[in-house]
Amino acid sequence: MSKGGGQVLEIRNLGKTYGTGERATHAIADVSFAVEDGEFVCVVGPSGCGKTTLLKCVAGLLNPGSGEVLLRGSQVTSPPEEMALVFQEYGRSLMPWSSVWNNVLLPLRHKKLAAKERKQLVEEALAAVGLTRFSHHYPWQLSGGMQQRVAIARALAYQPSILLMDEPFASVDAQTRGDLEDLILQVREEFAVTILFVTHDIDESVYLSDRVVVLTHAPTEVKEIIAVDLPFPRDQISTKELPEFAHLRGHVYRLIKRDQVEPAELALAEPVPESGRRG
Amino acid sequence: MSKGAYRATAIAAEVAVPVAILLAWQAWTAQANDPKFPRLSTILVEFRELWLFSQFELHVVPSLTRIALGFGIAVIVGVAIGIPLGLSRRGRILAMPHIEWWRAMPPPALLPISIVLLHSIGDRQKVSFIAFFCLFPILLNTIDGVRGIDPALMETARSYGVGRFERIGRIVFPAALPQIFAGMRTSLSLAVIMMVLTEYFSSTSGVGYVLLISKNTFQLAPMWAAIVLIGLLGYLLNLLLVLIERRVLAWHRGWRAAAAQ
């Protein structure tokens, strides 16, 4: 893999607290790590450890309470143009009134591009995820896995240098999940993107990444950062049969398991984010 | 039953039931011989004389124009105010008491003052009156529709750098459209009511005016013909709106059907 292009992304002492006073919930205490150019970094942690909050701060959608996110050295305060975000809830992030084509076109409409370039970008993105034949369909006419591929195509068409993914494959079946994992590895190769990928699936994190960042439960800190030196190209069967894979998987598993929280604490761990509330 | 057969039966029922009622009306009025209830055949002859020929331009066109203008203004203003209010909590806190107050006001209570304030019993007063009361269902539905938008959709657009106005045009408006149409359906039937009300109260033309004059001069056949016309107008206008909605919101029906599976 092409690595070593220097740091593109640095998360420095990031903290986030919801609410104030006695009712304050410390979602993230202090998280720091960096992502190299071209790297695939997975973030795993126990459920409710503020992974989504972390990613939203990185994406510039949420202001961190403390610390900062640096993109090529400059602080992220609003969504940067070179980042694209793929959510877990594909069904909720696609526009049901627009065709697949128009959904993928959405982030390109306001970019200063010729009509021909836009068309080409959409075509390439749809081809990369194997949905060329479905461009005139509505998203809800497709299966869950295909809808998530539309969301990935939309992110690719935006031509980001960094792809942020928030548990993107958590709501599809196991078979589809494996296919999508391989798709994203292939896309990474083809489009030369840096990927920051949040998941709660330990196997997935080891299978996909160059490095795994393991988080503690809330208030969240970095427990350990593990380098994954499994060979590329990775394969759902042969890679997962490697003793190194089993070893790494076990290692991450132990880190998270040791960190399991009591149910009472868990209830406090995932606060409703501000944007999710209806005023 | 196949889908086609089901549809044919539904349409037959929609036609057959009113026809049966009309036949019963004709049979009953024929034997009752009551001047207050003219025979259906008499009403229909009157209907043809009045509305299809001589009076169409004089009275039906003005009434339809008032409905169209009043309703059209209500849709534009309702959506234009409803979208920002739906997006702004602060705006809602400021505006909602006023909206609730005016919405609770019975329209006839404001009819006299509308004439005084607008110095008019002409189209200006009628169109404003219709627009004012048609506004609320559309406005409140738009606000609700905008508030119901999935935050994930807005965040996605924001993360892609889609600007505020483009977000409104490409996401907020289409997402709220099903609710906006629901409000429009309520408002359209209100528009017909308001049309009759304003014309009945003070006017020199229109279907409501004919209704009033016929009643005052004890011409019961024309009065019944006017009632039939008003009912028919309401029915046809609603049908038209439903057909438009079906076309515009085809995605919504498909989406909901897919979500229900």
Domains of chain A by residue range:
7-82+161-266, 97-159
Tell me the domains of chain B and their CATH numbers: 39-260 (1.10.3720.10)
- The H or E element spanning position A35 is strand A25-36
CB proximity A142 to B under 8 Å: no
Distance CA A2, CA A239 (A): 20
What average pLDDT score do residues A112-125 get?
Answer: 91
Please give the pLDDT value at position A279.
34
Entry pTM: 0.83
Q: How confident is the model at residue A3 (pLDDT cuts 50, 70, 90)?
A: very low
Around Cβ B241, how many Cβ atoms within 10 Å? 17
pLDDT digits (tens, 9 = 90+) for A29-38: 889 999 999 9
Which residues in chain B have their CB less than 8 angstroms from residue A87's CB? Answer: 152, 155-156
pLDDT per position as a tens digit, B202-242: 888 888 888 888 888 888 888 888 888 899 999 999 999 99
- At residue A2 the predicted structure's pLDDT band, cuts being 50, 70 and 90, is very low
Is there a contact between A110 and B155 if contact means CB atoms under 8 Å apart?
no
Closest residue in A to B147 (Cα) is A278
Asked if B72 reaches chain A (Cβ–Cβ under 8 Å), the answer is no
User: Can you tell me the mean pLDDT for A243-249?
Assistant: 90
- Which sign, positive or negative, has the C-alpha torsion A65, A71, A75, A80? negative
Best residue of B89, B149, B159 to probe chain A, by most A CBs closer than 10 Å: B159
Distance CA A40, CA A194 (A): 6
Q: A35: which strand partners?
A: A9
pLDDT score of B179 more than 80: yes
Q: For position B47, what pLDDT does the model report?
A: 84
The pLDDT score that the predictor gives to residue A271 is 52
Lowest mean pLDDT among A55-64, A90-99, B39-48: B39-48
Closest-CA residue of chain A to B258: A140
Kindly determine whether residue A140 and residue B258, on different chains, have CB atoms separated by under 8 Å: yes
Residue A261 pLDDT greater than 80, yes or no: no
Per-residue pLDDT at A268: 52
Q: Quick check: B261 contacting A, CB < 8 Å?
A: no
Closest chain B residue to A82 measured between Cα atoms?
B160
C-beta of residue A152 within 8 angstroms of C-beta of residue A116: no
A92 vs B152, B158, B174: nearest CB: B152
Q: Which helix (H) or strand (E) holds A67?
A: strand A66-71
What pLDDT is attached to residue A257?
A: 81
Quote the tokens at residue B205: 């033309």
Task: Give A207's Cβ-side CA count (13 Å radius).
Answer: 23
Greater pLDDT, B26 or B121: B26
- Partners of B174 on chain A (C-beta within 8 Å) are 95, 97-98
Percent of chain B with pLDDT over 70: 99
More confident call, A277 vs B163: B163
Chain B residues near residue A61 by CB distance under 8 angstroms: 155, 158-159
CATH topology of domain A7-82+161-266: Rossmann fold (3.40.50)
Decide if B159 contacts A83 (C-beta within 8 A): yes
- What integer pLDDT is reported at residue A275 of this predicted model? 47
- For chain A, the first-to-last Cα distance in angstroms comes to 47
- Strand, coil or helix: A42: strand
B156 with A89: Cβ contact below 8 A? no
Report the distance separating Cα A223 and Cα A45, nearest Å: 9
Is A151 within 8 Å of A104 (Cβ atoms)? no
Percent of chain A clearing pLDDT 70 (strictly above): 91
Chain-wide mean pLDDT for chain A? 86
